[in-house]
Amino acid sequence: MKIDLLYEIQKPTPHHERSEYEAYWEAMEQIELADQAGFDTVWCVEHHFLTGFAHSSAPEVFLAAVAQRTERIRIGHGVVLLPSPFNHPIRVAERIGALDILSNGRVEFGTGRSSGYEQEGFEVPTEESRAMWQEALRMIPRMWATDAFSHQGTYWNVPERNVIPKPIQKPHPPLWMAATSPESWELAGRNGIGCLGLTIFVSVPQIAERIKAYRAAIRACTEPAGAVVNEQVGAFTVVHCARTQEQALANGGADAAVGYLTYAFKVFAGGLRPDQKPPSEDTRREKDAQMQEATPYLDLLKSYPLIPKMMRGEVAFEDIDREDMVVVGDVERCIRKLERYAEAGVDRVLCLMQAGRIAHEAVLESIDLFGKHVIPHFDRP
């Protein structure tokens, strides 16, 4: 199993005038260390308007800088938001091609749709976002494969053009999709692309079931979106490693994990704005019904008993730690938790280490401990 890093560029409020500057340059230093420590890939998401949670609204710029400061770690542009008007498919193909050149062929190309809150800010019709994603996903590899690309579709019409530059990986960089609902895992399989699954709200046994569904779907895939099938599963979670369990908690690992899941639930599954509070007990039933109608991820509300507690703001670290939804602790504890992911069929774990209020120095130590102890454990033949 491969071990990756993932960045949202988190910087919790309150902010000062150099908060974002510090977050970006600390991330750069962490990734340089990860390159030496043996991490396989560094991923950076695309998010918009999520103050404190994700300041990574221009990952193509950030990752180009990362490519120039690293030598071997792969560059995960994951995920690029494909619905319009987030990004036009031509611009996506051009930027990925340029990044692949500048990284000497190290790009992993992840795709997604984002949340309703972000879609609203760009005037993306939420009900059409999946169809837009699907059409763009099928267009982009074709742009890389020919000098005479044209397209007549539902959302984009492109006269014959040569879309340049082309990536140097042949036939093209590996294709991925971010998945939350069980349906999206199967959709990734039907398109013949890698699946980046979230462990938020989902236990390890549920991950294993979704991997089985993904594998079945990809075996049945007859028309992959790309020129080759990418049959890999990545699982994303919040990770913090320290020399002792007590130190991991003192560093803020538990608070970072709970804070991430609570915020992510609000925006991505709960249908709330980031600044909204969970509904009170007095209005819970009414609000539950409203949220179930608003969220695009209805099955999440039914698939895991922790969801109602999240909706009421009652989640404790012990709840998510018990289910191994997050990985926080000393080396042995981290290895033990990650072994469950490997047993479930996960090919790579995407570790969010720059999370919450964990200090930069503690993140560096976590990366170092993974490089010395955790990665070698999973690199064994």
pLDDT tens-digit series, residues 199-253: 767 888 989 999 999 999 999 999 999 999 999 999 999 999 999 999 999 999 9
Q: How confident is the model at residue 272 (pLDDT cuts 50, 70, 90)?
A: low
Task: Look at residue 248 in the predicted model and tell me its pLDDT.
Answer: 97
3-state DSSP: the chain helix, strand, coil percent, rounded to 5? 50, 15, 35
State the chain's mean pLDDT as an integer. Answer: 89
104 DSSP 8-state letter: T
pLDDT tens-digit series, residues 127-145: 999 999 999 999 999 999 9
Q: How confident is the model at residue 291 (pLDDT cuts 50, 70, 90)?
A: very low
Short-list 238, 285, 281, CA closest to 262: 238
Domains, in order of start, for the chain: 2-378 (3.20.20.30)
Whole-number Å distance between alpha carbons of 238 and 244? 17
Cβ proximity of 312 and 173 under 8 Å: no
pTM of the complete model: 0.89
Q: What does the buried/exposed string (b/e) look like for 67-98 if buried means 16 or more CB atoms within 10 Å of the residue's CB?
A: beebeebbbbbbbbbbbbebbbbbebbbbbbb
DSSP string, 259-312: HHHHHHIIIIIS---TTPPPPPGGGHHHHHHHHHHH-S-HHHHHH-THHHHHHT
Q: How confident is the model at residue 66 (pLDDT cuts 50, 70, 90)?
A: very high
Short-list 38, 75, 1, CA closest to 235: 1
